[in-house]
């Protein structure tokens, strides 16, 4: 995740604690930017109360390391953009940002606000509010809500991590080349539940699981066809790309290119 620097020009209220609040909030931002879990944990008061209103749950200090370890981004695909400058009011700091999921096609993002309350130079309370926001105009995909995401046991940051983890898994391992791949295999390999993966694909990407696999398999088949350009190899390439049904392959191919594989190869040769 690229966490862009937030504007930190302070406009303090008439309260001496504002200066210290500003310093701690900036260190908190910098630790998240470095993905420094120890650095973030060091800023929490032992009696901290962390309220995740997206999931309607409250965590104490003993639960935070596992929670933050699961929510801290691990890849480079997620984009975090601050939507307002850092605001300070006495012992409280307000961070506002937008996290875009699956940045390659910009389908969905979260708008998030964190209110950090300080005590003795440490964060004693966090109120995190997140709203799931569609970036696209009206679509035909089913309606979704924060409550639906919450029931899956994922915070806003964890949904972002899921998006990135799935992308890395499919890009690096190419499991879709196996015609027998199913949702259970993906769940075991990635550590997420079937429901979590299915929800993400259906509600965020607007695809079914097998629609997603067919997209990846067709990408693979097109890459191989473009390299080999032999019509005699079409069905063999379809199988090698993971299609176990030629009718599905031909249907997906025509939907993507507007023509049959044979005509596609003829046009490449023109």
Contact assessment for residue 78 and residue 101, using Cβ atoms and an 8 Å cutoff: yes
CATH of domain 2-207: 3.10.450.50
pLDDT band of residue 140 (cuts 50, 70, 90) is very low
Domain boundaries, the chain: 2-207, 211-269
Helices vs strands, H then E, count in the chain:
11, 8
Residues in the chain: 270
pLDDT above 90 (res 247): yes
pLDDT above 70 (res 77): no
Q: Which residues of 89-126 are buried (b: 16+ CB within 10 A; e: fewer)?
A: eebbbbbbbbbbbbbeeebbbbebbbbbbbeeeebbbb
- 129 against 151, higher pLDDT: 129
- 200 against 39, higher pLDDT: 39
- CATH topology agreement for domains 2-207 and 211-269: no
Q: How far apart are CA 254 and CA 269, in angstroms?
A: 18
pTM: 0.56
- What number of CA atoms fall less than 13 Å from residue 235's CA on the CB side? 4
Instruction: Single out the residue of 140, 163, 192, 158 nearest to residue 71, CA to CA.
Output: 158
Could you please state the CATH topology (level 3) that the domain comprising 211-269 is classified under. Answer: Arc Repressor Mutant, subunit A (1.10.10)
Q: What is the pLDDT of residue 156?
A: 64
Q: How far apart are CA 151 and CA 148, in angstroms?
A: 5
Contact assessment for residue 51 and residue 64, using Cβ atoms and an 8 Å cutoff: no
DSSP summary character for residue 150: H
């Amino acid at each position: 995740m690229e966490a862009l620097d937030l504007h930190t020009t302070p406009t303090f209220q008439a309260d001496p604690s504002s200066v210290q609040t500003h310093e701690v909030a900036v260190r908190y931002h910098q630790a998240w930017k470095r993905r420094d879990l120890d650095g973030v944990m060091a800023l929490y008061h032992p009696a901290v109360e962390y309220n995740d209103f997206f999931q309607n749950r409250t965590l104490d200090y003993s639960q935070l390391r596992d929670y933050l370890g699961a929510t801290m981004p691990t890849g480079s695909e997620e984009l975090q953009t601050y939507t307002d400058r850092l605001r300070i009011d006495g012992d409280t700091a307000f961070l506002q940002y937008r996290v875009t999921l699956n940045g390659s096609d910009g389908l969905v993002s979260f708008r998030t606000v964190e209110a950090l309350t300080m005590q003795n130079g440490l964060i004693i309370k966090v109120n995190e509010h997140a709203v799931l926001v569609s970036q696209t105009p009206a679509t035909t995909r089913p309606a979704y809500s924060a409550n639906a995401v919450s029931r899956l046991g994922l915070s806003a940051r964890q949904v972002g991590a899921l998006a990135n983890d799935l992308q890395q898994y499919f890009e690096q391992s190419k499991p879709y080349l196996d015609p027998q791949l199913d949702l259970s295999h993906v769940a075991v390999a990635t550590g997420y539940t079937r429901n979590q993966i299915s929800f993400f694909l259906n509600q965020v990407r607007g695809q079914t699981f097998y629609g997603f696999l067919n997209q990846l398999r067709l990408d693979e088949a097109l890459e191989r066809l473009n390299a080999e350009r032999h019509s005699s190899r079409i069905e063999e390439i379809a199988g090698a790309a993971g299609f176990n049904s030629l009718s599905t392959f031909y249907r997906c191919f025509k939907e993507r290119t507007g023509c049959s594989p044979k005509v596609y190869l003829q046009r490449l040769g023109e």
